[in-house]
Amino acid sequence: MTSIHEIEERALLTGFQGGDRLAFDKIFRLHNASLIFFANRLLISYDQIDPEEIVLDIFMKLHEKRESFESLNSIKAFLYISTKNSCFNAMEKEKVRLKRFDGYTSTYIESDENNILSQIVLTEVYNELYQALELLPEQCRIIMGQLMEGKTAKEVAEELSISVSTINSQKARAISILKKRLSGAGIALLLIYF
């Protein structure tokens, strides 16, 4: 005999698979808080990474693949495995970014006073880079912004539904434009990212 709980689970799964917003919202509410807690625990040493953003991305992927799930347990497993993998990927990207950043800034660290001065200079260089990015043509600006967030060309291509070669050509175009607009320090910072 089928229990009421099993009937409710099947109805929720069927609604979710069919694109019912209320079913998706219910699944979101069931798992969102625990996934954020889980991501926070994995990212405890990485303050720069936003666990909530990672979890929201996972729910977007869940929604895209909604028709492929056979049970609520398979949805839950997907959410946890995907959150874990996304956290590990974000940690790896952050380690690479920090290594590049440390390599760049290590030449400026001589004393506390020089360190403060170098932080001011670095902040101004970041400001210069971001102002120059705002002046790029729209597609270049969008692509460069996502690449600077640490996304790969393939990830950006999938997200924007364009080819990787288009991403690479827009990136090359943007770098060419930025080289004309940036100072030597701005170009050096740009090279850290690309």
Region 95-123: what's the mean pLDDT? 67
Residue 88, pLDDT > 60, answer: yes
Distances (CA, A) of 14 to 31, 50, 63, 71: 18, 32, 13, 9
b/e per residue, 110-139, with b = 16+ CB within 10 A?
A: eeeeeeeeeeeebeebeebbeebbeebeee
Q: Are 182 and 136 in contact (CB under 8 A)?
A: no
Residues of the chain with pLDDT > 70, as a percent, come to 81
- Model confidence, pTM: 0.51
CA quadruple 2, 25, 49, 134: dihedral sign: positive
What's the pLDDT score for residue 127?
A: 75
| 146 pLDDT above the threshold of 60 | yes
Query: What's the rounded Cα separation, in Å, for the pair 24 and 75?
Result: 11
Mind listing the pLDDT tens digit for each residue in 12-31?
888 888 888 999 999 999 99
Q: Say whether pLDDT at 86 is over 90.
A: yes
Amino acid found at 170: Q
What is the rounded average pLDDT of the residues 53-65? 94
